[in-house]
Amino acid sequence: MFIHLLGKRCNRGVEGGIDAGKIERTRNAGVPLMLQSRAQKSAVFRFSPAGLSQAARRDQAPWWETFQMAGDATRFDCKVAIITGGAGGIGAATARLITARGGRVAIADIAFDRAQVLASELPGALAIALDLESETSTEAMIAKTVQHFGRLDVLHNNAALLGPDIAQADGDIEHMDTALWDRTFAVNVRGTMIACRAALPHLRATRGNIVNTVSNLALQGHVIQAAYSSSKAAIIQLTRAIAASHGKAGVRCNALAPGMTMTPALREAFPPALRQVVEDETLRDQLGDPEDIAEAAAFLASDAARNITGQVLVCDGGGASHVPGLSGFRTFFS
């Protein structure tokens, strides 16, 4: 049985998953060109479940044919991505974008009702209830995805412990509540580690990758959010560790560090006066939207970023790139 993904037919396995197999691309001249399944193409493809007798060797092809082979490496045709915290904000924007680029997504969120609503809007999407504080729930997320789709290519760890009450309680270290600190690390760090641990055997098989959402607060000191920023800094090191240990197995791992992003949760958690302080220090003429961060996440998850691993991509409109008090300097010199 075949399913159509924007001009490409993907052979579905016995578990209902996508078996990329081998790809046969037919040129306009009618001469078949055999390619490896990892390459993303922009022409029409057909799958041969049993594989093909030959494979094109790119190092023997002229440079112009190599570019023709590459196609659009930002696409996710026949790939499967898990997005935690996928029911809203950055996660939802990323789920929509990856789907639009030919992928299938598992939307994992503690807000399962919202995940189901979004999944109903995206072709082939799967909603999964996820509690990152639970090892069982986190491991089940990976298992359900692989059982449903038959493969896993991308794990986007985007969920975090956030919300108005959490943000208000997460202050400096002197006044830190131990229970809040422990819960923040249980969800953000331990939960991310368990998800990565469960996903890595499957990502080895597909030569897939992990994208961990962190924060530009992980790169800076602040008078608030000590627990949150410390947990995100720990995830950066987790990212580097996975990139080092699994790179030779074909698995990439990168971190994405947004700045203040205008999600519904942020609008609820931060008063306008504090948002204005951050906006004044942003080099763009506005704060980022979820769609801005989704573009960066999708890039890191795609084959277009195939030579990038172990890195932190800061996506904060330049807020972390300059000297402190830039807004005041602007005012002074104007």
- Of 222, 306, 281, 258, give the one whose Cα is nearest residue 93: 258
* pLDDT score for 130: 98
The yes-or-no verdict on residue 269 having pLDDT over 80 is no
**Residue 146 shares a structural domain with residue 87:** yes
Average pLDDT over residues 244-248: 98
The yes-or-no verdict on residue 192 having pLDDT over 60 is yes
Most confident of 64-68, 206-210, 329-333: 206-210
Question: pLDDT band for position 22 (50/70/90)?
Answer: very low
**Residue 9 shares a structural domain with residue 113:** no
**Residue 267 shares a structural domain with residue 217:** yes
**Residue 125 shares a structural domain with residue 199:** yes
**Residue 55 shares a structural domain with residue 86:** no
Give tens-digit pLDDT for 136-150: 999 999 999 999 999
When comparing pLDDT for 200 and 322, which is higher?
200
Most confident of 10-24, 94-108, 261-275: 94-108
* pLDDT score for 105: 98
Give tens-digit pLDDT for 61-119: 555 555 544 579 999 999 999 999 999 999 999 999 999 999 999 999 999 999 999 99
**Residue 209 shares a structural domain with residue 280:** yes
The yes-or-no verdict on residue 55 having pLDDT over 60 is no
The overall pTM is greater than 0.75: yes
* pLDDT score for 245: 98
- Asked if the structure places residue 166 within a domain, the reply is yes
**Residue 57 shares a structural domain with residue 111:** no
The yes-or-no verdict on residue 324 having pLDDT over 90 is no
**Residue 19 shares a structural domain with residue 92:** no
| CA–CA distance, 84 with 213 (Å, rounded to integer) | 10
Structure token digits, residue 319: 């807020």
The yes-or-no verdict on residue 45 having pLDDT over 70 is no
- Asked if the structure places residue 28 within a domain, the reply is yes
Compute the mean pLDDT over every residue in the chain, rounded to the nearest whole number.
83
**Residue 64 shares a structural domain with residue 184:** no
* pLDDT score for 183: 97
Number of compact structural domains in the chain: 2
Average pLDDT over residues 151-168: 92
Residues 6 or more apart whose Cβ sits within 8 Å of residue 151: 13, 17, 18, 19, 20, 80, 202, 205, 206
CB atoms within 10 A of CB 74: 17
Q: Range of 14's domain? A: 2-70
Burial class of residue 272 (count of CB atoms within 10 Å of its CB; 0-12, 13-18, 19+): exposed
Domain boundary among 51, 70, 89: 70
List active site positions: 228
- Asked if the structure places residue 273 within a domain, the reply is yes
**Residue 24 shares a structural domain with residue 85:** no
When comparing pLDDT for 284 and 301, which is higher?
301
Percent pLDDT > 90 in the chain is 59
CATH assignment at residue 227: 3.40.50.720
When comparing pLDDT for 189 and 4, which is higher?
189
The yes-or-no verdict on residue 258 having pLDDT over 80 is yes
- Asked if the structure places residue 332 within a domain, the reply is no
